Amino acid sequence: MKYPLMRNNILAEDLRPVIDLLSTQDPRLTSGPKVEEFENKWSEWLGVKYSLFVNSGSSSNLLAVALLKERFPEGGKIIVPAFTWSSDISSVFWMGFEPLFVDISLDTLGLDGKQVIENLEKYNDVRAVFLTHAQGINGLDEKLSRYLDSHEIYLIEDVCESHGTKLKDGRKAGSRGHTSCFSFYYAHHMSTIEGGMVCTNDLDSYEALRMLRSHGMSREAKLESTKDFWSRNYPDLNPQFIFTRPAFNVRNTEIGAIIGLQQLKRLDSAIKKRAFNFNKFLDLIPDVFFKDFQLDGQSNYAFNLILREPDPELMIRLEEGLTASEIEYRKGSAGGGNQMRQPYVKDMFSFSDDFISRVTPITDHIHKYGLYIGNFPDLKESEIEWLSSVLHSLI
């Protein structure tokens, strides 16, 4: 592949401290001091009180929804965008909630705030809004943000593909919701090989998340008072083995944390470079592509190509032309397009094609006429010019 979705995301300088650790006698590789250091530095960078390093962005989704399940054991609805990744919706299913699909706005790729509010007013069993900041664009509009605040509605932010995106108030996406989720998969803004972070400002939630991450064990809690609580209430059990709730093991390792600490040093400069790349790309590409994204505070990681108008023949030409030029792409853009069209959703609810197009016309348009290609920090301007010339030749 001449032009992959991502290249050089993990550098030799990231691996050197890993090699140093591996070269010591009897190194500790499971979760330890480096994981804690990475979590603290991440919290500082993001502007939240607590972060937990987990083994993927999907695991961070799962923990965020598992935490919500502790608050609402009876279940209920969770508002989700149709334009997101499968693990967001799967977490909702596995935790016994019902996903309520809402369309997005084309300029933010995030939930359409007006439709969210309409649904919140229509149903009285909506437990949370689980929004996705897709492809580095702020997905939380101001009106929705104020509505959620004034109605005290629980918000989960999925920032797995938008590290460093700024909200309208200048804070970073992921510092606003009750919990937020990040992914450090290879092609994202930074990578720990596999990995993710779940973040919150709420101490009780943090304690619960620590236990949810690690078999539900009370000894995983941070506070002695939490551990004491469980030991006092279960004096017949060994304090090392008190399993407080049904839970998971989704911890990460010292190796991932060391790579994460290295990557974090470059994150802000990589974000700037990618934003520069995306702006240049948008300037150069043909006008048949949608360009009116709301890019204030953007943290792009992929060049999004969405046809302004439906044009199945042009779409085929584009796909064939990109393949012929060895440019890797993903059709449907983030997450494979409209989640309502995927078998794990469509078959479960027996959604008809007509229903899906009616409820989520914008996501559906991107599903059919959208794709993305890579945007990485070491991209040269001449490569952006080449990409644009390939696109022009296909129109």
Ligand X SMILES: Cc1ncc(COP(=O)(O)O)c(C=O)c1O
213: left (phi over 0), alpha (psi -120 to 50) or beta: alpha
Q: Binding residue for ligand X (CB under 6 A) from 39, 88, 112, 254?
A: 88
Minimum Å gap between C-beta 288 and ligand X is 26
Minimum Å gap between C-beta 48 and ligand X is 18
Q: Counting contacts by CB under 6 A, is residue 84 touching ligand X?
A: yes
Q: Counting contacts by CB under 6 A, is residue 85 touching ligand X?
A: yes
Q: Counting contacts by CB under 6 A, is residue 333 touching ligand X?
A: no
Q: Which stretch binds ligand X (CB under 6 A): 71-79, 89-97, 155-163, 365-373?
A: 155-163
DSSP states of 203-264 as a string?
A: HHHHHHHHHHHBTTBGGG-S-HHHHHHHHHH-TTS-GGG-B-SS--B-B-BHHHHHHHHHHH
State which residue, 158 or 207, has the beta carbon closest to ligand X. 158
State which residue, 140 or 217, has the beta carbon closest to ligand X. 140
Q: Counting contacts by CB under 6 A, is residue 342 touching ligand X?
A: no
Q: Which stretch binds ligand X (CB under 6 A): 43-51, 81-89, 148-156, 382-390?
A: 81-89
Cα four-point dihedral sign 333, 336, 338, 339: negative
State which residue, 85 or 281, has the beta carbon closest to ligand X. 85
Q: Binding residue for ligand X (CB under 6 A) from 136, 196, 260, 332?
A: 196
DSSP alpha helix (H) spans, the chain: 12-22, 33-46, 57-71, 86-94, 113-122, 142-150, 203-213, 224-233, 254-284, 312-324, 343-349, 353-359, 361-369, 381-394
State which residue, 259 or 390, has the beta carbon closest to ligand X. 259
- Distance between CA 240 and CA 221 in Å, rounded? 11
Using an 8 Å Cβ cutoff, are 141 and 81 in contact?
no
Q: Which stretch binds ligand X (CB under 6 A): 39-47, 52-60, 232-240, 306-314?
A: 52-60
Q: Binding residue for ligand X (CB under 6 A) from 161, 207, 220, 364?
A: 161
List, in sequence order, every residue forming a beta bridge with 330; answer none if it has no partner.
372
Minimum Å gap between C-beta 85 and ligand X is 3
Tally the residues of the chain: 395
**Other Cβ atoms closer than 10 A to 364:** 23
- Distance between CA 336 and CA 199 in Å, rounded? 26
Q: Binding residue for ligand X (CB under 6 A) from 90, 105, 115, 132?
A: 132
State which residue, 31 or 192, has the beta carbon closest to ligand X. 192
Q: Counting contacts by CB under 6 A, is residue 183 touching ligand X?
A: yes
State which residue, 132 or 262, has the beta carbon closest to ligand X. 132
Q: Counting contacts by CB under 6 A, is residue 277 touching ligand X?
A: no
Cβ partners under 8 Å of residue 358, min gap 6? none
Q: State residue 40 phi and psi, 5-degree precision.
A: -65, -45
Which stretches of the chain bind ligand X, using CB under 6 A? Answer: 56-58, 61, 84-85, 87-88, 132, 158, 160-161, 183, 185, 196, 334-335
